[in-house]
Structure 1
Amino acid sequence: MYFLSRDIISKGHHVTVVDNDLAECTRLSRELNATVVNGDGSYSTTLEDAGAIGMDVLLAMTPLDQDNLVICQIALLHFGINRSFALVNDPENEEVFRKFGIQAFSTSGIIASLIEQQLMLDGITNLILLGGGKVNITEVLVKANFPVAGQTLHEIPFPNDALVSVVIRNHEPIIPRGGTILLEGDRVVLVTLAGSHGKALKIITGEGM
């Protein structure tokens, strides 16, 4: 929490931290230029004391998914905070959060995705996750031995929920069309839904096919 708060503060934002550990609150209040409130964030009175009215964004990061869900619901229903994000400790709970309009992220899911990429091969960079981890934007360096090298985008059997949004060639971006041929050395910016991410990468690289 300390490092995340420090990073957000360094970008010019005001941060309020709510924690039910008094010793941690004392430490944070000494080390951060932030408002620190000792209390349980799953109670509306605590969030009110923390100044929830008028807040732009709420981030719930307790070790319990049910508490994070309650905190985000209180933020929306009681204080009108429309942008809430929650740490999901069990990746299977992510869909529940999304049904309530909460942007959920799972550190274990993110780490698993990064490991999958590293196991596959070098030259793949996960640029960003959107929609609470449901959308992946990935950059892939096309190598000579990839099956897609020399093929047009029309010829590549991508899943329906995967597309090449940009091709970077000789440091110049190209908006691709169906007839665009992928060449060795191209950097392909791939946009996929999470369920098709691994399959789309395998189609590009030929790994595991």
Structure 2
Amino acid sequence: MKVVVAGAGRLGTKIAQVLVAAHHHVTLLDNDEERVAQLRHQTAGHLITGDACEPTVLEHAGARTADLVVVATGQDDTNLVASLLAKRHFSVPRVAARVNDDENAWLFDRSWGVDIALPTAAPLVSLIEEATGATDTVALLRLSKAGVDVIETAITARSRAAGQELSDIPLPEGTIVATIIRDGQPTPPSPNLLLQQGDEVLLVSHRASEREIHAAFQ
């Protein structure tokens, strides 16, 4: 799924982080250059600086081919204008917009291009699930809050792990195998499972980097 998130505040940044962890293509934009610079040290997808109310900025962010646009700035007028642009100018299938002032909630409907209105008083998890239409974001959000990374590595013919049992792979400290995706289906990670070419290994870790994981399997 291709997603554009406008507004790099708490909600926008967390939505971007959760979707990146779920391997979606995410572009996060904000008109605050300093804020964008700070986020470059975090996992929040592709980052750009710009005004979401400018069609050229939204197009640069990927709105023309986006499956979802989330407008989560701190200004309701900005959120409405950007939502209308996303829906009417770029024909984005799904547009979600943050409602900052409850008195403006009546404006956040299809006439302004808003498919999903996100009330400011709702819990963060609920907002993310509503915006993305996903039901699996809670676990990813909890992992993110706990400082746990979700890392995936693929087994190829050249991988050192190919043909080895899972128990023979020296995993970095604080890392566990969550599941093995084989032929499109999840497979329980039993110790004697023989890794094969084409397997996708999904791991969770609170210490290891992607480079360390890659070194263990590749």
Question: Could you say which structure has the greater relative contact order, defined with CA pairs below 8 angstroms and 6 or more residues apart?
Answer: 2
- Find the structure with the greater CA-based Rg: 1
Return the TM-score normalized by structure 1: 0.50
